Structure 1
């Protein structure tokens, strides 16, 4: 099956996912798509010999262009790994039950519009949380509102800075995200 990874940033999760599946005969990471031409994730993907594409926001929201691209790569499943654009309704509908997202907090807390990257970890710190974690969920029309697939937690100390919180949460992503994807693919296909 052909999988596309959507990214906007540095791509450490993207690289981790590509490496996880590189010897899997049933899963082909066929495309890494970004809305930003300067996303380092594209360099990581190219270094691992995975095809890449850039679709800025205006083009990303064009059904003929985006769906045409995905069809040209025969994409069966989409993984959002640090992708910062809202997914248009036409794509949510086309890939219902075949598109997942990683969120760097324990949803439903610290989710929704504006809750991405460091904003999440700063909010976790400001709220005095004693734990944080990661959530993998199905993509729906509601920002961070799709059904939760898996969550993993880590304890926080009062001394943790937002950077410390980010690092603890990122370690969970590196450890668990590829395995969750693998499990979802087995259950879906």
Structure 2
């Protein structure tokens, strides 16, 4: 029996649609923890790099489709079996269904690569966000970690961090600054939430 199994381990499930750099960072961060563990990664895209990253880090990786998420209870039942303490959306692009939100109230969080409420909502993800912010000549951007509700990027804010935008910044260079904020703060905020819920 490992140290993690012998304690009251807090369980995290990550949902991701893309390459999974945030998911990998979170998994590695908590692999050093004795009482918090990422137990599964779920993705809606067969080609998503996050599935391989999870597999390489010995975390269960599961693929699902729209039918399983929206029209049956397949994904909900997987989550009920796991009984996670926190569900983390790390670059997950579909709207989260209300049946899961109702089953896990205040246990689902998302990270958004901008300072909500600006530059959020349907279609605002990844480089689209950074390109829009640069085009609008904003002087700062950042990240928002928030609870998930039935609307894109409208749940209550938990944490924000900012970075300045210089005249020479491009969408790509801004993305790099945002990634740094994500990698630094997202695991720390997750840990804080789980410790506060003890």
TM-score by length of 2: 0.92
CA contact (8 A) 2:69 2:76 kept: no
Structure 2 runs not aligned, ≥5 long? 1-9
CA contact (8 A) 1:63 1:90 kept: no
CA contact (8 A) 2:14 2:40 kept: yes
Query: Could you tell me which residue of structure 2 aligns to residue 111 of structure 1?
Result: 120
Structure 1 runs not aligned, ≥5 long? none
| Shift, 1:56, TM fit | 1.4
- Structural mapping, 1:155-174, within 5 Å: 155-174=164-183
Give the Cα–Cα distance (whole angstroms) in 2 for the partners of residues 4 and 81 of structure 1.
10
Superposed CA offset, 1:47-105 (max 9, x none): 11000100112222134201111122232310000000100111111111101000000
Give the Cα–Cα distance (whole angstroms) in 1 for the partners of residues 145 and 54 of structure 2.
22
CA contact (8 A) 2:148 2:155 kept: yes
- Per the alignment, in what secondary structure is the counterpart of residue 180 of structure 2? helix
Query: Could you tell me which residue of structure 2 aligns to residue 59 of structure 1?
Result: 68
Query: Could you tell me which residue of structure 2 aligns to residue 140 of structure 1?
Result: 149
Query: Could you tell me which residue of structure 1 aligns to residue 43 of structure 2?
Result: 34
Query: Could you tell me which residue of structure 2 aligns to residue 7 of structure 1?
Result: 16
Asked if 1:185 is matched to 2:194, the reply is yes
TM-score by length of 1: 0.96
Give the Cα–Cα distance (whole angstroms) in 1 for the partners of residues 32 and 140 of structure 2.
35
Give the Cα–Cα distance (whole angstroms) in 2 for the partners of residues 94 and 129 of structure 1.
38
Superposed CA offset, 1:23-45 (max 9, x none): 22221211000001111011111
Asked if 1:123 is matched to 2:132, the reply is yes
